[in-house]
Structure 1
Amino acid sequence: MAVPEPVEGFLVDDRVVPFPDGKTVADILAGGLDAAHAAFARVRDDEGTPLAEVRLLAPVVPATVRDFVAFEEHVEGVSAGVEGKSHVAAEWYQAPTFYFTNPHTILGPGDAVSPPVTQRLDFELEIAVVLGGDPGTSLTAEEAASRIFGYTIMNDWSARDLQAREMKVRLGPAKGKDFGTSLGPWIVTADELEQYLDADGFLAIRAEVLVNGELVGEDLVSNMGWPFPELVAYASRNAKVVPGDVLGSGTVGNGGCLGELWGRGSTIPALREGDEVRMTVEGIGELVGTVGPSVEAPPIPPARPRTRARQR
């Protein structure tokens, strides 16, 4: 049976309404918020399809995915679990740090992650901004704020044992992370969350995560070290940011991942096949992901001793 083509559109109350004129999410993001509101006004009264009858996909096909580490409490805990000691480097406070992850392994709501063979599979509860409007380079924080189209929930699935090995080489994370990132359930436009901005511009929304129905972590997103516009501005330094870029906040503190809890002495087990991870963020919604079977990759031999000869 043929698989139907995905339909891209707005969520209006409890129904999904296609964008006008066959537009895509990429088109809407490129147009920016004002154009998105105009498109929404044209279709908001359309009948659409009940949300209950729709299978949601990831809300964006990212141009890039940058993932920051903006919560001090997370760094304190996870460093002990990955590196063997709790430590926040002085350099963490100087500027927001991020890594690029894989835009080709994005998962949507309800999708199962297929992890590598790992004994320490973990989740990471994050909030991500999705950029829209004009591309930009070396933006100020004010200019960067105008590029934030909206917000979604992000789960940065992590194989902590692979991550720990990679980062001993002082590079990465790479294969400990790039097998799956969940986004969803949708993009909430930036204006819808303005009511939650505190006096310093931080987004004071509550985020929590449950594993198999048990609360594991909870935090306020306003505990991050930099507000989102400053993360976007830093990402744009001497580099271009474009519509469709996704920038994760990094893992929230107070149990936003198992790695932090392990670093603080918890014996909570690593994720196993069949486990359900449910993330809820105030003002955005709920993102559920499950753990599928591990996938064993073809072996790669270790580095071979070389002579370091300079001539053939």
Structure 2
Amino acid sequence: MRIARWRHDGEVHEGVVVGDRVVAFPGALTVADVLAGGLDAALQLAETLDASGGAALADVQLLAPLKPASIRDFVAFEEHVEGVSASVDGKSEVVPEWYQAPTFYFTNPHTVLGPGEAVAPPVTERLDFELEVAAVIGGVAGSAGANLTPDAAASHIFGYTIMNDWSARDLQAREMKVRLGPAKGKDFGTSLGPWIVTADEFALDAEGFLPVRAEVYVNDELIGEDLVSNMGWPFPVLVAYASRNSRVVPGDVLGSGTVGNGGCLGELWGRAGSLTPPPLAEGDVVRMVVDGIGELLGPVGAAVVAPPLPAARPRSRARYANEQ
């Protein structure tokens, strides 16, 4: 089942994609409601929908398939880490700490973009894409989503979507020297879509990985390709780790991290020792294709010049207000 949100005749609708048509949920049900109800209930609901109704998919504008409760983005592909470390530090390596746990950071759920929606980046000389698959969390009766085992975490995975973690690499490199981040190098946009494909549509491999092929094109030129099953950990482990001493809730989005073998330009820059292929520029179109999910287009719009801010002021080391 494909769950989507779309705009048609000036109104936003939420429902499912059946063949070449979109069919809204009954009543005032939203994607958030359906995620909260869990996968089994969603599949039962789909059986009651009239697939002959709705509108033609070609006549609607697809939106991001959900309004995320939160977005965690992992770094689960060893090959990506090797390439990006060469780009950032000049040395291709994977630090021992990477193997110990699936590290993630939180990104901004308020700057999510839908299919075909142009990103408006900050002023940057190194705009990049990141090809990812994301798991979307659904509700499970009797579970608070806390301290899950991987087996229990698997039942919280409602479905999957494509994720493009847009990145301004020069901003990211500067701010991460402060030992935090990424922050404004990522804050401006994350594309999701074109829809959520429910987890029952996928057959996992013997080790529990998602064995689908992912590709990314810039202006129709193939830049990167990989198998999502090349992750260091399967998605249930990512969900379990996110829930450790915490919670995952319906509507949470967990990105796989960038696939290897050219899943982003930064990896290729590190391997080449130069900005080859070149950074993204206004007018470029990034197209991501993942087997079993579909295609996500992301045009690059004009950069937005932000208001200036002052640098930090020099401070004394005084400890009392009257101290000189």
Give the TM-score category using the shorter length. Answer: over 0.9
Q: Structure 1 residue 4: deviation in Å?
A: 2.4
Question: After the TM superposition, which residues 172-251 of structure 1 pair with which residues of structure 2 at under 5 Å, given as runs?
Answer: 172-194=181-203, 197-251=204-258
Aligned counterparts of 1:192 and 1:220: Cα–Cα separation in 2 = 17
Aligned match for 1:80, one of 66, 79, 86: 86
Q: For residue 5 of structure 2, what is the aligned residue in structure 1?
A: none
Aligned match for 2:269, one of 242, 262, 265: 262
Q: What amino acid is the match of 1:209?
A: V
Q: What amino acid is the match of 2:282?
A: E
User: Unpaired runs of 5+ in structure 2?
Assistant: 1-7
Is 1:307 the counterpart of 2:316 in the alignment? yes
Aligned counterparts of 1:46 and 1:22: Cα–Cα separation in 2 = 20
Q: What amino acid is the match of 2:188?
A: F
Aligned counterparts of 2:178 and 2:90: Cα–Cα separation in 1 = 15
80-89 vs 270-279, which deviates more? Answer: 80-89
8 Å contact from structure 1 (residues 122, 270) kept in 2: yes
Q: For residue 127 of structure 1, what is the aligned residue in structure 2?
A: 133
Aligned pair in 2 of structure 1 residues 232, 304: CA closer, same or farther (>3 Å)? same
Is 1:160 the counterpart of 2:169 in the alignment? yes
Q: For residue 4 of structure 2, what is the aligned residue in structure 1?
A: none
Q: For residue 59 of structure 2, what is the aligned residue in structure 1?
A: 53
Identity level (%): 74
Match of 1:253, SS state, is: coil
Aligned pair in 2 of structure 1 residues 251, 109: CA closer, same or farther (>3 Å)? same
Match of 2:202, SS state, is: helix
Aligned counterparts of 1:233 and 1:21: Cα–Cα separation in 2 = 34
Q: Give the paired residue count.
A: 309
Q: Structure 1 residue 45: deviation in Å?
A: 3.2
Q: For residue 12 of structure 1, what is the aligned residue in structure 2?
A: 18
TM-score after normalising by structure 1? 0.97
Match of 1:82, SS state, is: helix
8 Å contact from structure 1 (residues 20, 39) kept in 2: no
Q: Structure 1 residue 5: deviation in Å?
A: 2.5
Q: Structure 1 residue 46: deviation in Å?
A: 3.9
TM-score after normalising by structure 2? 0.94
8 Å contact from structure 2 (residues 193, 296) kept in 1: yes
79-88 vs 141-150, which deviates more? Answer: 79-88
User: Unpaired runs of 5+ in structure 1?
Assistant: none
Q: Structure 1 residue 110: deviation in Å?
A: 0.1
Deviation string, structure 1 residues 105-148 (Cα, Å, up to 9, x no partner): 00000000000000000000000000001341000001100000
Q: Structure 1 residue 169: deviation in Å?
A: 1.1
8 Å contact from structure 2 (residues 160, 196) kept in 1: yes
Aligned match for 2:38, one of 24, 27, 32: 32
